[in-house]
């Protein structure tokens, strides 16, 4: 969410550093940093302004001079965390660039796993992406041969692919009652009936705690690495195949051409 012009702060102006407690001067930056640290520890649900104020050694109301609401604290923290998604993205074949983009996004998100459920949320996600990354994405789709409306579709596909797997992988049980969560999952597994769900039953051992809905360990502590690599593989192959199909369809519709 684009920043409303913050209260003007003269650049080099010396600030009174009243407290000996090492509390750096308050600023939008420092506040969002602290907010991010809190959210990283406790998750967005438990995040609250009063605790944030305490960490910053100010009264809660002081925060409102820099950030107008709790929601914007959260989206600002997410934007901070996602800085650098577009840094030093590789060059090379578009397939390699696409794979790198997906991996990079997951890496960044893995540094702040508790933000994962927020990325899909309405609060956030415009804050999360900068024009540089979007340009990189569009460029690689051009290189793949997409154009016009097909390119827009492909953009949406790749964008959803970028966020999709990692978001689900890292969205995990509420920290409070991990034990209850685990037994709930085991109950779900135990309820599988070999007569009524034969295919599922055949693979239950292999899937247990390794597959969505059937796992209780967090994707943070126990990443689904091979699943993610399969994801990258499927997306790249799929986009490649679709690009080829669209090209031949276009060629067929204008039979005599260079």
The least distance separating DNA from the CB of residue 73, rounded to whole angstroms, comes to 7
Give the span between the Cα atoms of 42 and 37, in whole angstroms.
Answer: 9
Find the helix or strand (DSSP H, E) in which 249 lies: helix 225-253
Give me the count of residues in the chain.
258
Instruction: Please report how close the Cβ of residue 202 comes to a second copy at its closest, in angstroms.
Output: 8
Q: Which is nearer to DNA, 48 or 95 (CB)?
A: 48
Neighbours of 151 (CB within 10 A): 15
Task: Candidates 3, 29, 41, 59: give the one binding DNA (CB under 7 A).
Answer: 59
| Residue closer to DNA, measured from CB, 9 or 202 | 9
- Partner touching 139 among DNA, a second copy, none, CB below 5 to 8 Å by kind: a second copy
User: Do 136 and 115 meet the contact criterion of CB atoms below 8 Å apart?
Assistant: no
Binding mask 11-50 for DNA (x = CB under 7 A): ----x---------xx--------------------xxxx
Give the span between the Cα atoms of 36 and 81, in whole angstroms.
7
The answer to whether 35 touches 79, Cβ cutoff 8 Å, is no
What's the CA gap between 42 and 47, in Å, rounded? 7
212: contact with DNA by CB under 7 A: no
Based on the shown chain and the rule CB under 7 A, indicate whether residue 61 belongs to the binding site for DNA: yes
CB of 237: closest distance to a second copy in angstroms? Answer: 4
183 counts as binding DNA under rule CB under 7 A: no
- The angle formed by the CA atoms of residues 37, 43 and 44, to the nearest 5 degrees, is 95
The separation between CA 231 and the C-alpha centre of its own chain, rounded to angstroms, equals 15
Q: How far is the CB of 8 from a second copy (least distance, A)?
A: 19
Site for DNA in 63-92 (CB under 7 A): 64-66, 68-71
CB of 27 to DNA, least distance (A): 8
Give Cα 30 distance to the centre of its chain. 22
Q: How large is the angle between the packed helices 94-110 and 148-170, nearest 10 degrees? A: 30
Q: Which is nearer to DNA, 39 or 161 (CB)?
A: 39
19 versus 142: smaller Cβ distance to a second copy: 142
User: How many degrees, rounded to 5, is the angle at CA 143 between CA 140 and CA 148?
Assistant: 90
- According to the binding rule CB under 7 A, does residue 58 interact with DNA? yes
Q: Which does 66 bind (CB under 5 to 8 A by kind): a second copy, DNA, none?
A: DNA
The tokens of 4 are what? 């409303």
Which positions lie near DNA, rule CB under 7 A? 7, 9, 15, 25-26, 47-51, 58-62, 64-66, 68-71
């Amino acid at each position: 969410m684009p920043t409303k012009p913050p209260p003007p702060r003269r650049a080099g102006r010396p600030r009174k550093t009243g407290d000996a407690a090492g509390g750096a001067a308050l600023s939008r930056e420092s506040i969002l940093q602290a907010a991010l640290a809190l959210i990283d520890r406790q998750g967005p649900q438990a995040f609250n302004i009063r605790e944030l104020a305490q960490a910053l050694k100010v009264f809660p109301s002081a925060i409102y001079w820099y950030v107008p609401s709790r929601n914007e604290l959260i989206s600002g923290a997410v934007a901070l965390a996602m800085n650098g998604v577009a840094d030093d993205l590789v060059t090379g074949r578009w397939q390699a660039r696409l794979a790198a983009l997906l991996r990079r996004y997951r890496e960044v998100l893995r540094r702040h796993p508790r933000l994962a459920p927020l990325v899909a949320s309405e609060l956030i996600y415009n804050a999360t992406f900068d024009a540089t990354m979007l340009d990189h994405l569009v460029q690689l789709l051009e290189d793949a041969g997409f154009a016009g409306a097909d390119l827009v579709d492909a953009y949406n596909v790749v964008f959803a692919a970028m966020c999709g797997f990692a978001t689900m992988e890292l969205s995990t049980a509420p920290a409070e009652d991990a034990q209850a969560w685990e037994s709930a999952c085991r109950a779900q597994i135990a309820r599988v009936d070999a007569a009524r769900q034969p295919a599922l039953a055949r693979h239950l051992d292999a899937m247990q705690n390794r597959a969505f809905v059937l796992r209780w360990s967090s994707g943070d502590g126990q990443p689904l690495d091979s699943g993610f690599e399969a994801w990258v593989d499927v997306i790249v192959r799929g986009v490649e195949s679709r690009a080829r199909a669209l090209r031949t369809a276009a060629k067929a519709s204008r039979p005599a051409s260079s």
